[in-house]
Structures are given as C-alpha cells and as structure tokens.
Amino acid sequence: MTKTAHTFSIGMKNPYPAYKRMQEQESVYQLPSGQWIIFDYKNAHELLQSPKCLHWGQDKRIFGNLPPIEKAIATTLYTLSPEGDRPYRKQILHQLAGRSLKIDEKSMQALADDLLMNLKGKSNIDIISDFAHPFTFGTICRIIGIPENQRATFSNLVAKMDNGYLSCIDIETGKQTKEGAAFIQQLKELIKLKKNELGNDLCSVLLENSHQEPDQEAFLISMLILLFYAGHQNMMNFFGNSLLTLHDHPKTQQELREHPKLLNKGVDELIRYDSPLQYIMLIAKENIKIDDKHISAGSQLLVSVGAANRDASVFENPEQLILDREYKHLGYGVGAFRCIGARLAQLQASTGLNSWLKHVAAYNPKLDEISWRMHPFVQRGPASIPVKIDWNDNS
C-alpha cells in the first residue's frame, strides 16, 4: 500500500480533482476492502473487453454473498449480457433499433416542448423535478408500454422513492418503502394488462419471450425496474450534469443555441465531460497483472468511467468542453457490453437539450440549494437544481 492509502477520498459532488490526482500517483489502486479501482483509460478500456474479467453477476462466489437487492440487479444485468444463453439482449436491441418502436424524434420533441411551454410564466423552477424527470420518465413509459392514463400514477410513486428504483427490486425483504411497494404493484398490474393485450412495446416483447423463466412475474418486474433505472434515472442524471456544465460554459451554450446540430456530437462530449455512469464493476476471472499490480482471481475491479473519460493521455485538454471532440469516451461502456440503449439515450439527450435551449433564454442555478444523489461507485447526478429562469418569448 502506498502513501495514498491514507489520503484516498473521492467526493461525488466533484470527483474529478481526486481522479486526476490518482491518475498521476497510482492509477491502479487497491482499497482497504480489497477492491481495486482502475483510474486510467488504457487499462479501463482493456478490462471492459477482456476475457479475463466477468460481469459481476456471473461470478458464483460473489453472487452467493450479495444482499437480496444486489442479487436481483446482478441476475437481471447478466440476463442482458451478450454471453448469456437467453435472448433478451438481442430482442431489446432489435426493438430499440426497429422502425416500429414508439421512439420517434417528433413525439419526443413534442413532449419536451409541451413541458416547457407549460412552465412559462414561472420565474423559478427545478430543472430535475419540473423538466428532467417528466421528460425522461414520459419517454421510457412510452417505450415500455405504460398506458398514458397510468403514467401520472407511476410518476408520482417514483418521485417519492427516496432511494430510487433499486430500493424496490427485491420484493421479499420487507424493507421497501410504501411507495416502492406500490410501484411494484403497479408493475404487476401492467404485466396482467399486457398478458391480455400485447402491444408494440418492450414489456410485451419480454412477456412473449420469457415463458421459460421459473418465476416469470418476478423476472419481468426485475427487468422492467432495470429498464426504468437506465432510461429514466440515468438520463435524469445526464440532464442535470449537462445543464450545470453548460451554465458553466456560456460560450459553448450560446454556440449550441446558434447551431443546434452541434448537439449530435456535443451529447457525447457532455457525457465524456461529466458522465452519469461513474463506475462499472467487474470480477477477475483469473489472476491478472495490470502494470506492476498483481490482482488475484475473484477480486472486484471498479472501472472508473468518470476518471478514464478525463485521462489526459487520451483526451487533449480533458478539462475543457470541446463539442467536436473525437468520440472515445466510455460513458456507454465498450465492446460487447456497450449500453443497449445508447441510440435512444443520444436521441433523448439531443432532443431534450435542443428544446431547453430553444425555450429558455437564460437560467441561473441557485448553487447553495443544489442537492446530489449519492450512489458511490455507480451513478452521479443532482437530485435537485433550483434555478431562476428567463424564457425566450420567441419560442
């Protein structure tokens, strides 16, 4: 253990100074708990594609010791892995890429525009609760197949769940909140509805192809919660991080207002600059040597996506926001485990930001009132961003 062992600390409000320090001092670092953190891009990129590593839901030794909630997450994530023996990853990819799926840009733009038009006249709003939450939630509801007349009920329940979706994945612990239990009950009702009338949505696709699951209902609930988590909570974090970033970069913000098509590549740069996904956990399948470190089989590896995306050996001037930067970031993962919803995320991100910049002339966050979601080693994003806002009268 080096001298950094006693000074290691990462603050989720702004982890990047600590990431930079670790890249300079010890880019492959072992925590007192025995876990390893990988801070540099080269090793992160290689490990995410290495046959020497397992997805954390694949390792039986780790899986057996996981608490119920993490066990459910692991099972669901592995079900979506490219190495699994079940077809769900391919089916979801096909649906997300299919022309028939209800994720056309026009309906997404209409949702964003309607939300912002209804907010006009208010001089103070919260970016997360008033815009990012209803926009991203409405989009994923449409894709999953939540009937329009039930979306408000789902939305209100989710907004009240203090720990987000992951607090209600395990339905047998008895620890979920009242709202979490109610949310799971709503999912059960949705599954019953789709059994009676299949539609053109992800819930129907999963229902049609999961008859072989020992407990189909529990499987579907876990899968749907994961899809909500990725498509809603992850994207809320993106909008929060990105709008704070653009506020801190007024010239870039103005450039996007004048040239909205720059968002096509600009979204990737915003993800690189401040990724919602900060870490990916892997398990060493066998003994691995990384630089001068010997990592034993069974060790947990925390691949720091946030740090890798700011690695100065790969990204010139990594602390600068450069809209036309070459795409290299790891915010969607890489290789076979690349995020299956990357296309949807890019479309949703560019559409939402374009609408915001079209309707909002200026916004000033109340910095001392911003609160953050703290999910160490996984996600990072603001829970609340109160802003004073000036509307564009011409939109």
pLDDT digits (tens, 9 = 90+) for 21-80: 999 999 999 999 899 999 999 999 999 999 898 775 555 665 555 555 555 556 655 554
Name every residue whose Cβ is closer than 8 Å to that of residue 190 and which is 6 or more positions away in sequence: 145, 146, 150, 203, 224
375/310 Cα distance (integer angstroms): 20
Name every residue whose Cβ is closer than 8 Å to that of residue 63 and which is 6 or more positions away in sequence: 57, 71, 74
Residue 162: is its pLDDT beyond 90?
Answer: no
pLDDT digits (tens, 9 = 90+) for 230-282: 889 899 999 999 999 999 999 999 999 999 999 989 999 999 999 999 998 88
Q: Which of 288, 282, 239, 278 is nearest to 19 (CA)?
A: 278
Structure pTM? 0.88
Q: What average pLDDT does the segment 85-99 reach?
A: 55
